[in-house]
Structures are given as structure tokens and as C-alpha cells.
Amino acid sequence: MRILIVEDERSISEVVKAYLKKEGYEADTADDGLRAMELFNESRKKNAPYDLIILDLMLPRLSGYEVCKQVRTNSSVPIIMLTAKGTESDVIAGLDAGADDYVIKPFSPRVLVARVRAHLRSSTGAEHANENSTVIKIGNVDIDITAREIRRDGKSVNVTRNEFLVISTLASKPDKTFSRDELISKAFGDDYEGFDRTIDTYVKNLRRKLGGDNSNDYIRTVHGFGYRIGME
Ligand code: CA
């Protein structure tokens, strides 16, 4: 597994690289956004694309948002953003640009490595393989818990790990309305240091990817409370 670390603070990228190496991952580092795009494009040309990207948002030459958008034009590689503490709007902008997840600085390298592991596991689909085979249907959408796949009219829809966790959590209890806090703790676990508004971004992305015509398709907004699955 090869990981690209994009971070202009060498002290951070070196520590992260050392931790990833200890876990058996190979890692390259880029000090700025343009260099990141060079490495990303080269890796694709060589037919050895990166398995995951760790991406700082504040970067010289090309911002992390731009890198994210450019990568997303032709790749669904998991992207974990690194962002400064207390910048909820930055996090939301990053998720909008197509990042899968975020870790807030200063962070523990162990936490970051755990997130990396979780994303790599889910992109190979093995994480929940021991659960009973379950497919939950919402209209023309199938949520395949076992395969960790969302299908619309039988065709696979490309969702990120966190988007999958959000919709599968909602679908697991179709009668229940979840508050944002509850959804975070059920979907991501209690140690997830998330802003509750990021759930809104995941929901918005899911509705868009599923091709809903209006804002209540597939996932219903319960005003003043949270969300529930939109069973017809
Ligand atoms: Ca930076």
C-alpha cells in the first residue's frame, strides 16, 4: 500500500511517514500542492496509483482544496485532510471538494494511522465482511452492508467511506430520527472528533450522488432535530 503525504511542514510529514512505515505502508511526501499533483499524475502514468492521500489544506503553490478537486476529476482514492483546529468551515469546504475524512491539527500520529487503516480496509471492502449479508432498499437504491456498496438501479454509486457509514447507519433503523451527534457517534464511534455540521455535508453529497430530485430524497431532514432515512 502506497500513501502520498502532502504537507509543507517537514517535521509533521517526517513523523507521519515514520509511523506509516512502522505499519508497513510505503509513503512519499510532497511539500506543496503542485508537487503533489506531479507525484499523483506520475503514479497514475506508471500504473501504480497511490492507495490513499493525506492532504494538508494550507499549502504553498496550490492549496489542498485545489489538489483535492483536481484529484477527484479522475480518481476516487481516499483522501484524509489535515486541518487546523477550530476551523469548521475549512473542514466543510474540504469535504465539499471531495475529501473523505479529516484529522484536526495538532493530531496524534497514532490516530491518523488508525484512520488510514480504516479507510484502506473499507476501500478493499473487508471491514464488515463477517456480518450477515444484508441489503437495505430505499426506493431504487440498495445499500449493501456486506459488500459495502451502494447501488442505484443496480449500478454501483461511488461514495466515500464516511458517506457509506452515514447512510447505512440511518438505514439500519428506518423508523428512527437521528440527531447529528447521535449519527456521528453511531456511524463513526465515540472517539471521532467531528463537527456535527459535517454530517450535513455528507448528507448533501449522498443526495447528489444518488441523484435525488429534491432535498428530502433518500434522506429526510427532520427540522430542528436531524435526519432519518427516506423510505417511501
Ligand atoms: Ca500547511
d(CA 47, ligand 1 centre) in Å: 29
pLDDT over 70 at 145, yes or no = yes
pLDDT bin (cut points 50, 70, 90) of residue 23 is: very high
d(CA 2, ligand 1 centre) in Å: 22
Residues present in the chain in total:
232
pLDDT over 60 at 132, yes or no = no
Least confident among 100-114, 125-139, 146-160: 125-139
- Regarding predicted confidence, which is higher, 125 or 171? 171
- In the chain, % of residues over pLDDT 70: 91
Q: For residues 23 and 216, give the distance between their C-alpha atoms in angstroms, rounded to a whole number.
A: 42
CA 28 to chain centre: 21
Helix, strand or coil for residue 10?
Answer: helix
Q: In this predicted structure, what is the pLDDT of residue 130?
A: 45
d(CA 22, ligand 1 centre) in Å: 24
DSSP element (H, E) containing 230: none
d(CA 59, ligand 1 centre) in Å: 5
pLDDT bin (cut points 50, 70, 90) of residue 195 is: confident
12-26, 72-86, 116-130, 168-182: which is most confident:
12-26
- Regarding predicted confidence, which is higher, 38 or 145? 38
d(CA 56, ligand 1 centre) in Å: 6
**Average pLDDT of span 112-118:** 91
**Average pLDDT of span 112-119:** 90
Grid coordinates representing 134 are 444484508
d(CA 148, ligand 1 centre) in Å: 33
d(CA 163, ligand 1 centre) in Å: 26
Q: In this predicted structure, what is the pLDDT of residue 189?
A: 82
Quick one: DSSP state of residue 5?
Answer: E
Q: For residues 80 and 211, give the distance between their C-alpha atoms in angstroms, rounded to a whole number.
A: 25
d(CA 35, ligand 1 centre) in Å: 14
Q: In this predicted structure, what is the pLDDT of residue 119?
A: 86
d(CA 83, ligand 1 centre) in Å: 8
Mean residue pLDDT of the chain comes to 88
Q: In this predicted structure, what is the pLDDT of residue 228?
A: 92
The angle that helices 88-96 and 198-210 make with each other, rounded to 10 degrees, is 10
d(CA 174, ligand 1 centre) in Å: 42
d(CA 119, ligand 1 centre) in Å: 23
Residue type, 83: T
Task: Please measure the distance between the N-terminal and C-terminal CA atoms of the chain and give it in whole angstroms.
Answer: 42
pLDDT bin (cut points 50, 70, 90) of residue 19 is: very high
**Average pLDDT of span 203-214:** 84
* Contact call for residues 101 and 93 (beta carbons, < 8 A): no
pLDDT over 50 at 127, yes or no = no
Q: In this predicted structure, what is the pLDDT of residue 178?
A: 94
d(CA 61, ligand 1 centre) in Å: 11
In the Cβ-directed half-sphere of 151, how many Cα atoms lie within 13 Å?
12
* Contact call for residues 205 and 95 (beta carbons, < 8 A): yes
Q: For residues 21 and 37, give the distance between their C-alpha atoms in angstroms, rounded to a whole number.
A: 22
- In the chain, % of residues over pLDDT 90: 50
* Contact call for residues 81 and 63 (beta carbons, < 8 A): no
- Regarding predicted confidence, which is higher, 196 or 182? 182
**Average pLDDT of span 41-46:** 95
d(CA 210, ligand 1 centre) in Å: 34
